Structure 1
Amino acid sequence: MRGFRTPGDKRPLVLLLGWLGSKQQHLNKYSQMWQDLGAQVVQHQPSILQTAMPSAQDKALLRFMKDFNYLYSSLCTVRGDTPPVLVHTMSNAGFIAFGTMLHLVSLLSSPIVAPAARDSPRLVFDPTQMAASGGLTARSYGLWGGEGRGVRRMGGSGGEHPFATDPPAMAVLSAFRQVLRNTQGIIIDSAPSQATPGIWSRGFLSAVFSEGAHDIAESHPLLLRGTHALAERYLNLPHVVKRIREIRHAWQYRVPPCPQLYLYSEADALIPYHHVELFMQQQAAHGIPVNSHRWVDSAHCEHLRKHPQQYTNLCRSFSEYCLHGHTSPEVWV
Structure 2
Amino acid sequence: MRSIRKGVVRTVLKMAGDLDNLEYYIKFPSPNFNYNQQNGESDYVFVVNEEKIPVILLFGWAGCQDRYLAKYSQIYEDRGLITLRYTAPVKCLFWKRFQMITIGERLVKLLVDLNFENHPIIVHCFSNGGAFLYQNFMLALERSPKPIQIKGVIFDSAPGKRRILSLFRAISAILGGRPLYNIPVSILMTMFLSMIWLYEVISNYVSPKKTFQSNPLENLKDDRNRWPQHFIYSKTDILIPFTDIEYFADYRQSVGIDVTSLCYDDSPHVKHYSHNKDSYVNSVCNFLNKCLNGSN
Question: Is the CA contact (8 Å cut-off) linking 1:265 and 1:294 kept in structure 2?
Answer: yes
Matched residues in 1 for 2:239 and 2:189: separation? 15
For residue 260 of structure 2, give the secondary structure of its aligned residue in structure 1. strand
Following superposition, the deviation at residue 323 of structure 1 comes to 1.6
Q: Output the amino acid matched with 2:48.
A: P
Q: How does 1:195-210 map onto structure 2 within 5 Å?
A: 195-209=162-176
**Which position in structure 1 is the counterpart of 2:198?**
236
Does the C-alpha gap of structure 1 residues 298 and 66 become closer, same or farther in structure 2, counting only changes over 3 Å?
same
Structure with bigger helix share is 1
Matched residues in 2 for 1:59 and 1:102: separation? 12
Matched residues in 2 for 1:40 and 1:104: separation? 21
Question: Is the CA contact (8 Å cut-off) linking 2:272 and 2:280 kept in structure 1?
Answer: yes
Q: How does 1:32-111 map onto structure 2 within 5 Å?
A: 32-52=74-94, 53-71=96-114, 73=115, 75=116, 82-106=118-142, 108=143
Report the TM-score when normalising by structure 2.
Answer: 0.74
**Which position in structure 2 is the counterpart of 1:302?**
271
Following superposition, the deviation at residue 255 of structure 1 comes to 4.5
Higher relative contact order (CA 8 A, sep 6+): 1
Q: Output the amino acid matched with 1:174.
A: P
Give unpaired runs (5+ residues) of structure 2: 1-40, 205-210
Calculate the aligned-residue CA RMSD, in Å: 2.6
Q: How many residue pairs align between the two structures?
A: 244
Matched residues in 2 for 1:255 and 1:293: separation? 24
Matched residues in 2 for 1:219 and 1:286: separation? 46
**Which position in structure 1 is the counterpart of 2:207?**
none
Q: How does 1:1-333 map onto structure 2 within 5 Å?
A: 1-2=41-42, 3-9=44-50, 11-52=53-94, 53-71=96-114, 73=115, 75=116, 82-106=118-142, 108=143, 173-175=144-146, 178-179=147-148, 182-209=149-176, 220-238=182-200, 242-244=211-213, 247=216, 251-324=220-293
Please give the per-residue CA displacement for 1:59-85, whole angstroms capped at 9, x wherever unaligned: 2332222222222x1x56xxxxx2211
Following superposition, the deviation at residue 98 of structure 1 comes to 0.6
Following superposition, the deviation at residue 219 of structure 1 comes to 8.5
Matched residues in 2 for 1:243 and 1:228: separation? 20
Give unpaired runs (5+ residues) of structure 1: 77-81, 109-172, 326-333
Question: Is the CA contact (8 Å cut-off) linking 1:259 and 1:290 kept in structure 2?
Answer: yes
Does the C-alpha gap of structure 1 residues 105 and 248 become closer, same or farther in structure 2, counting only changes over 3 Å?
farther
Q: Output the amino acid matched with 1:19.
A: W
For residue 270 of structure 1, give the secondary structure of its aligned residue in structure 2. coil
Matched residues in 1 for 2:124 and 2:257: separation? 16
Following superposition, the deviation at residue 8 of structure 1 comes to 4.1
Report the TM-score when normalising by structure 1.
Answer: 0.66
Question: Is the CA contact (8 Å cut-off) linking 2:150 and 2:227 kept in structure 1?
Answer: yes
Q: Output the amino acid matched with 2:124.
A: H
Question: Is the CA contact (8 Å cut-off) linking 2:126 and 2:155 kept in structure 1?
Answer: yes
Matched residues in 2 for 1:229 and 1:198: separation? 11
Question: Is the CA contact (8 Å cut-off) linking 1:192 and 1:271 kept in structure 2?
Answer: yes
Question: Is the CA contact (8 Å cut-off) linking 1:19 and 1:45 kept in structure 2?
Answer: yes
Matched residues in 1 for 2:197 and 2:45: separation? 42
Following superposition, the deviation at residue 218 of structure 1 comes to 10
For residue 71 of structure 2, give the secondary structure of its aligned residue in structure 1. helix
Structure with bigger strand share is 2
Does the C-alpha gap of structure 1 residues 252 and 30 become closer, same or farther in structure 2, counting only changes over 3 Å?
same
Matched residues in 2 for 1:69 and 1:323: separation? 20
Percent identity, please. Answer: 22
